[in-house]
Structures are given as structure tokens and as C-alpha cells.
Amino acid sequence: MATRVGIEVSIAIADAVKLANPDVVAAYPITPQTHIVEHLAELVANGELDAEYIPVESEHSAMSACLGSAAAGARTFTATASQGLALMNEVVYVAAPMRLPIIMAVANRALSSPLSIWCDHSDLMSVRDTGWIQIIAENGQQCVDNIICAFRIGEDQRVLLPVMVHLDGFTLTHVIEPITFPEQSDVDKFLPPYKFPMPLNPDKPVAMGDFAPPVIFTETKWAQEMNIRASKKVVVEVWDKYEKAFGRKYSPVEKHHSDGAKVVLMTMGSVGETASVAIDEMRDEGQDVGQIRLRLWRPFPFEELRETLKDTDVLIVLDRAISFGGPGGPVASEVKAAFYDQAKKPRIVSFVGGLGGRDITVAGFKDMVKKGTEIAKSGSKNEYEIYGVRE
Amino acid sequence: MTKEKSLIEIRWHGRGGQGAVTSTELLAQSAISEGKYAQAFPSFGPERRGAPVQAFNRIDAKEPVRIRADITEPDVVVVLDPGLLDKVNVTSGLKKDGWVIINTRKTAKEIKSEFGIKYPVATVNAIKIARETLGVPIVNTTMLGAVVKVTGIIKKESAHAPLEKRFGRLGERNIKAMETAYEEVVIEEQ
């Protein structure tokens, strides 16, 4: 029997990690991730979670410890945010080519400077090309569900890749809301024991993360690319199995009244829920608008996106990060690339907003859709619009 | 077609350390335990003891709460510390007919004329209740009782389990403080 409780999302994530029964948690606390790892430390300290908790001295060490433990065949979890993710960056890249299915929650927060503890996706974008599978949660329930799914996806023998579950800092981490927890016995059935095929073992030595001269390096990178591309099938398969077991459905591109809508708003992260209220109100007013939410950021769901938007005239994309001096929002860039070669494509309008915790209200999203529709008609000399900025 | 609105938004005003955040957590947990939908969240950011702080609730008896933006137009505001009334515009953005629930020993009439509040006011001497039942002038759980009475958004019994879980052996006294405020809050006649 699943239980529905009112709980802070960070605490719920720690409880979800406990349901997955990890062997090792290595982490360093940083706002707004702190409550996740504090609660995990508490669970280990009071004997509720039988795992090794390694209180490392930095995020760089946290990921290094995770590499070692995952390579030894231990189910491994960590969490970080922002500057912590930046400090860890060098080691984050190492996990995917070594095929180590470390699971990491990232409480998205702006990168300095100026210093901000609030949410945007600049930290998320800083690890875009690290080769990790990256899932974006939009509410507390999705965090819990996807933490459990992440272990099964990453540890699948066809995948063996690290997985990040991104959640917006404060807007999700510090909110108390209703979350339904699956039973331990059901999670045990859903998540088989972790069996790493070639664990570090003094009796059976293996080499990992070797030196690769030019004669082989390209091949290793191509193998890595084929690996993550193929993982999308497994991500979808695991989500389908999760739906069968627990009744909640996830997919790479999630639709909200987008079928047949001429104007579609695309969001990623917790703003998606607020935006959905704006979309509902606009539809009630008789406007032909819909919404899609990106649930899977890497591997990027090119085919699903093209299929979902095949009848769309105008696509308005909101990004919570800037690629400075570049084409604007990183999500919008990807979407434009997905459609460049297509004969029929929507007019894509890129907005950047919600930086460093700047709020976007229901009225704000309605305004954004209105402005975006106008820009799609009249054209714009700008690569993108920065929403709500005081100039 | 406009759907009937079932969402109630509450803004709590207190000072860092007075437990406004705890109040929102307890209220949300109580509502969720009734099968309702609720959010509780602090004003995100660094907090300092003694500085004016805000904390927020969204409660919806019918539908999941989807809005994650700040609450700028609340239905109800709660003031834990009457000393804030001349420092913070507590009625900022308050909806027409929105309620102000204040911890004060003064009457609604006195408060309204002193601070120019043009909204319906409910008052309760929460400091006195907290001192008598808890032995400390911490009014967050006491004020919860006043909020439950004025808004009717949960049954007061639904707050018992969250209070017991939160305060352990002090749970019973906090329940008593909450219930006393529920009885003693003076709701201005409309």
C-alpha cells in the first residue's frame, strides 16, 4: 500500500534514495541541496539505511569517491548544486566513459558571479556534455519516482551510465507538498540488485579509464556516443515499467494540450507547472495554445520532439540559462537544430527568463505566449528575447 | 468558462526564529492528511534571526496545486509579531475581502484605527496563550489554531498528528495552545 504524505521534497528524495537501498553515499553539502544529504546522513547514522556515508571535504572528492565505489560494484548516490557541481566538473566527465552508473541529484542553482543561491539552469548546462543521462523533474513526486527509475536505468546492463536527476533549487527542494511513496517491497521488485559486470577486484584485476592514444581515443568516444544514444530506448522502457508498477507515467517529451495546438510553449523544470495553469486559462479564453515539457534532456529526444510538434506553427521555448555570446537559450538551440533539416517546421521563438530565481507568474507566462506569438508573426532581429529584464 | 476557485493562498509574517515556517509546514501536512492538496514554502533565501520573514501556504481542497510562483495576492495574511505592523505592509496585495489574522492583545477596532487596516481582522492574544500553555512566548503553533478557525480550511483535529510528530513530548501542550487559540480568536463581525 503506497502512502501519501506531506513532506519537504529534499527529505522525500533522501527517502527515495533509501528505498533504492544504496551501498555508498558520498556528498558535500551545498545550498540548496543540503537537506537531501543531511537527511541521508541522518538515515545512515540512526541505522535506518545500511550504507557507507562518506563525508568528503569537497565536491571534487565526492565524485571521486563515487567513481571508486561504483567501480567496486557498489550502488552509489550523491547530490550537489551550482558551485559544487562546477568544482566537481572534472570528475563528472570521467564517470560515463568508465560506464559507472552513479546516481546524482542536482538541486539546480545559478552559477556565480554575482553570487546567487536561487534557481536557474546555468549549473545544469555546465554539465550538458558530460555524457550523463539527464532527467528533469518538475515536482516532488517526479523527483521521488525518477530517483528510483534512475537506478534502474543506469544499472541496466545495456546502459551502465551515470544518471542525473535535476530539480529546481528552492522552488522544489524547500517546498512541502503531497508525495506518494511506493512500498519498499514493490521497489525491491522493480529495482533488481546492482550487478556491475567488471568490478574492481584484487583477485581479478581489471583496468579502467586507461590512457588512450590517438589511435583509439576516437573509437572510445564513438562507443560512448552509441551507448548514450541507445540508452533512450531503455529510459522509455523503464518509465513504462514504472507506470505499470506504480501508475505514474513519464516520457521524454510530455504533452499538455499540445496535440493540434498551433502555438506551443515549451518548458523544462518546475516552471512547467505554473505555465500549465497559464495555458489552461488561455484555452478557457478560447486560444489555440498548448504546452510541452522536456523530461529527458540527455539523450535529447529529437524524434519525439519532431513527432510531437509536427502540426505546430509557433513554438515558444523558455530557457533558464544563457549561452553567452551564443545563440541564446541552450534548450532553444537544441530544438532549432532538431528542426533545421525538416521541410515543415514551427517558427521557434526563444526566451530566456527565470534567471537566479526570478519569478515567472501565471500572468507572466500568458504575456510570454502573447509576445512570442507576435514575434513569430513580425520576426525579430534578436536571436532571443530576455524576459522581464529592466534595461 | 471559469471554474470555481478552490485554491486558498496564505502569507505568514513573522521574524526569523519565531517559527512561521514551521506553522506553514504543519498546516500543509494537516491539509494533506485530509486528502487535500497543499504547499508550504519559506521566502527562499538566507534567513536571519529577528529579521522580518515571510512563509507561505497554498491549500486546495479539490485539485493538485500547480502554481509555484511567489504568493503576491494572498487570501489571508497572518501576523505572528504585532511589532511588524508599523514596519511591514502586511496587507500588501491582499485580495479584496481577504482576512488579516493578528497576534495582539488589542481589539480589531484598535488595530484597524492604529494601522489603517481596511480589511476584516481577527485577533487573538497568542502571546498570553503560549506563555500559559507552553511557558514560552513562541506563538507559531498557537496562531495555527486561529488560522484554522478563521479559514475553516482544515479540521482542527487534523493538526494533532503533525503537532505530535513535530514536537514529540511537547506535542500535547502545543495541541492545547492551538486549540485554545481556536476557541479564543475574536473574529470581527462583517
Region at A328 (left for phi over 0; alpha for psi -120 to 50; beta for the rest): left
Chain CA centroid to CA A299, Å: 11
* Bond before A114 cis per omega within 30 degrees: yes
Cell numbers representing residue A366 in the block: 500568458
pLDDT of res. B4: 65
SS3 B170: helix
* Shortest distance, CA A5 to any CA of chain B (angstroms): 7
**Min Cα separation B68/chain A (Å):** 6
User: Do A99 and A229 share a domain, yes or no?
Assistant: yes
Return the amino acid letter for B158.
Answer: S
Residues A258 and A232 in one domain: no
CA distance to A1, A13, A269, B96, B188, per residue, from A180 (Å): 10, 12, 20, 36, 39
Angle at alpha carbon of residue A68, lines to A63 and A70, rounded to 5°: 90
Is residue A235 predicted with pLDDT exceeding 70? yes
Whether A177 has a pLDDT exceeding 90, the answer reads: yes
- pLDDT tens digit string along A84-99? 999 999 999 999 999 9
Please compute the mean of the pLDDT values over residues A154-166 and round it to a whole number: 98
Whether the CB-CB separation of A154 and A163 falls below 8 Å is answered with yes
Q: Are A306 and A339 in contact (CB under 8 A)?
A: yes
Return d(Cα B62, Cα B66) in angstroms, integer. Answer: 12
The pLDDT value given to residue A209? 87
Dist. CA A191–CA A76, nearest whole Å: 14
Contact between residue B126 and residue B143 where contact means Cβ atoms under 8 Å apart: yes
**Residue B154 sits at the chain A interface (C-beta within 8 Å):** no
List all residues 6 or more positions away from A243 whose beta carbon is below 8 Å from its beta carbon. Answer: A249, A250
Closest alpha carbon to B41 in A182, A359, A180: A359
> Same structural domain for residues A63 and A34?
yes
- Among the residue ranges A60-64, A215-219, A382-386, B100-104, the one predicted with the least confidence is A382-386
Asked if residue A277 and residue A202 are part of one domain, the reply reads no
Identify whether residues A231 and A263 lie together within a single domain.
Answer: no
The predicted model gives A160-171 an average pLDDT of: 98
Does the distance separating the beta carbons of B24 and A359 come in below 8 Å? Answer: no
With respect to residue A138, please indicate whether it lies within any of the assigned structural domains: yes
Q: Which residues of B touch A175 (CB under 8 A)?
A: 39-41, 68
A213–chain B nearest CA distance, Å:
48
C-alpha to C-alpha distance for A144 and A313, rounded to whole angstroms? 35
Strand order in the sheet with A133-136: A52-55, A24-27, A76-80, A103-108, A163-168, A133-136, A296-298
| pLDDT value, residue B2 | 46
For residues A327-346, average pLDDT: 95
B42 closest CA partner among B83, B73, B70: B70
Residues A35, A172: one domain? yes
Is there a single domain that holds both residue A189 and residue A277? no
State the Cα–Cα distance between residues A60 and A9, nearest whole angstrom: 25
For A30-45, b/e burial (b = at least 16 CB within 10 A) is bbbbbbbbebbbebbe
Say how far apart CA B32 and CA B60 lie, in whole Å. 10
Are A192 and A294 within one domain? no
| Closest alpha carbon within chain B to A365 | B69
Question: A170 touching B, CB under 8 A?
Answer: yes
Task: Considering only residues A52 and B51, tell me which one the structure prediction assigns the higher pLDDT.
Answer: A52
Radius of gyration of chain B (CA): 15
Query: Average pLDDT of chain A?
Result: 97
- pLDDT over threshold 70, residue B178: yes
Residue A391, pLDDT above cutoff 90: no
Q: Would you say residue A314 lies in a domain?
A: yes
Are A298 and A230 in a shared domain? no
Q: What share of chain A is helix, strand, coil (3-state, %, to 5)?
A: 40, 20, 40
Q: What is the mean pLDDT of residues A31-48?
A: 98
Boundary-marking domain end, from A246, A268, A286: A246
Considering its fold, how many domains does chain A have in total?
Answer: 2
Range of the structural domain that residue A191 is part of: 3-246
Q: Which domains, from first to last, does chain B contain?
A: 7-187 (3.40.920.10)
Strands (E), chain B: 7-15, 37-42, 52-60, 76-79, 99-103, 121-124, 186-187
The residues, any chain, with a CB within 8 Å of residue A67's CB and separated by 6 or more, are A91, A94, A95, A98, A100, A102
Does the CB of A176 have a partner CB in chain B at under 8 Å? yes
pLDDT at A381 exceeding the cut of 90: no
pLDDT surpassing 80 at residue A260: yes
The reply to whether A320 falls in a domain is yes
Report the distance separating Cα B97 and Cα B89, nearest Å: 17
Q: Does A115 touch chain B (CB under 8 A)?
A: no
A177 forms bridges with which residues in the sheet?
A7
Average pLDDT (B36-49) is 87
Please indicate if any CB of chain B lies within 8 Å of the CB of A276: yes
Cis peptide before A32 (omega within 30 of 0): yes
**Cross-chain residue pair B67–A270, CB shorter than 8 Å:** no
CB-CB under 8 Å, A175 with B40:
yes
* pLDDT value at residue B45: 72
8-state DSSP, A309: T
Q: Is residue A391 domain-resident?
A: no
Is residue A109 within 8 Å of A120, Cβ to Cβ?
yes
Asked if residue A166 is part of any domain, the answer here is: yes
Query: Which residues does A86 contact at the CB level (< 8 Å), separation at least 6?
Result: A111, A123, A126
**A77, A75, A90, A91: which is closest to A199 by C-alpha?**
A75
Is A310 part of a structural domain of the chain?
yes
Answer whether residue A315 shows pLDDT above 70: yes
Q: Are residues A29 and A120 in the same domain?
A: yes
Tell me if the pTM is above 0.90.
yes
Q: Looking at residues B58-85, what average pLDDT do you find?
A: 96
Can you give the pLDDT at residue B1? 40
User: Looking at residue A186, which CATH number applies to its domain?
Assistant: 3.40.50.970
**Residues recorded for chain A:** 391
* Res B3: pLDDT: 56
Residues A15 and A90 occupy one common structural domain = yes
- pLDDT at residue A55 greater than cutoff 60: yes
Span A109-128, average pLDDT: 98
pLDDT given for residue B184 in this prediction: 98
Residue with cell 519569478: A359
Measure in Å the smallest separation between the Cα of B37 and chain A Cα atoms.
Answer: 7
Give chain A's end-to-end CA distance (angstroms, integer). Answer: 54
Which of residues A216, A246, A276 is at a domain's end?
A246
* Nearest residue to B67 via CA among A354, A275, A257: A275
**Local structure of B37: helix, strand or coil:** strand
Side-chain-side CA neighbours of residue A248 (13 Å): 16
Q: CA–CA separation, A131 vs B173, rounded Å?
A: 54
- Average the pLDDT over A359-369 and give the result: 97
pLDDT tens digits for range B99-150? 999 999 999 999 999 999 999 999 999 999 999 999 999 999 999 999 999 9
pLDDT at A160 > cutoff 70: yes
From A218, A246, A274, give the residue that closes a domain. Answer: A246
Q: What is the CATH number of the domain that holds A283?
A: 3.40.50.920
DSSP string, A337-351: HHHTT-SS--EEEEE
Residues A237 and A326 in one domain: no
